[in-house]
């Protein structure tokens, strides 16, 4: 898979570095990707970037896995990552993520 173009990567990184970035910013950037291949690259780039932000990373794991057409387990195994959270916690995050995806905006408690 060819790398993301420098200009698209710059826009993506800018969105990721915003103080209050979250689901909506991620969706905005991903929606600008012209095709499924580019969307996948964008999400994989975000995944690699997110390893440093463990709380946000864990929060978005189910969304990223779904967007890439895989499972959380496969996603973690594929990127050689480990999660301390147990399966129940991952399910809670998945349920919360679905609520956020269907909401108009992030609840205040989730904004940073």
* Residues near 67 by beta carbon (within 8 Å), at least 6 away in sequence: 30, 39, 43
Return the pLDDT at 111. Answer: 43
- Residue 65's domain spans which residues? 6-106
**In percent, how much of the chain has pLDDT > 70?**
1
Residues 73-82, mean pLDDT to the nearest whole number: 52
Count structural domains, the chain. Answer: 1
User: Could you tell me if 62 and 94 are in contact, meaning their C-beta atoms sit under 8 angstroms apart?
Assistant: yes
Residues 83-100, mean pLDDT to the nearest whole number: 51
Q: What is the dihedral of CA 11, 15, 17, 22, to 10 degrees?
A: -160
Task: Lowest mean pLDDT of 44-48, 66-70, 96-100, 105-109, name the range.
Answer: 105-109
Who wins on pLDDT, 15 or 111?
15
Residues 67-91, mean pLDDT to the nearest whole number: 54
Q: For residue 1, is it within any domain? A: no
Give, rounded to a whole angstrom, the gap between the first and last alpha carbons of the chain.
34
Tokens of 56: 């946000």
Return the pLDDT at 84. Answer: 45
CA pair distance 34, 82, nearest whole angstrom: 31
Per-residue confidence band for 30, with pLDDT thresholds at 50, 70 and 90: low
User: Could you tell me if 43 and 68 are in contact, meaning their C-beta atoms sit under 8 angstroms apart?
Assistant: yes
Q: pLDDT at residue 71 above 70?
A: yes
CA pair distance 97, 47, nearest whole angstrom: 16
Residues 26-40, mean pLDDT to the nearest whole number: 63
């Amino acid at each position: 898979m060819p790398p993301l173009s420098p200009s698209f990567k710059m826009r993506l990184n800018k969105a990721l570095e915003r103080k209050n970035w979250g689901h909506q910013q991620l969706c905005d950037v991903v929606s600008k990707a012209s095709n499924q291949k580019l969307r996948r690259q964008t999400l994989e780039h975000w995944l690699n970037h997110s390893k440093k932000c463990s709380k946000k990373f864990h929060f978005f794991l189910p969304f990223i896995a779904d967007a890439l057409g895989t499972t959380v387990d496969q996603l973690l195994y594929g990127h050689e990552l480990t999660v301390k959270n147990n399966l129940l916690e991952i399910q809670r995050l998945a349920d919360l993520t679905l609520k956020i995806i269907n909401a108009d905006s992030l609840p205040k408690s989730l904004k940073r």
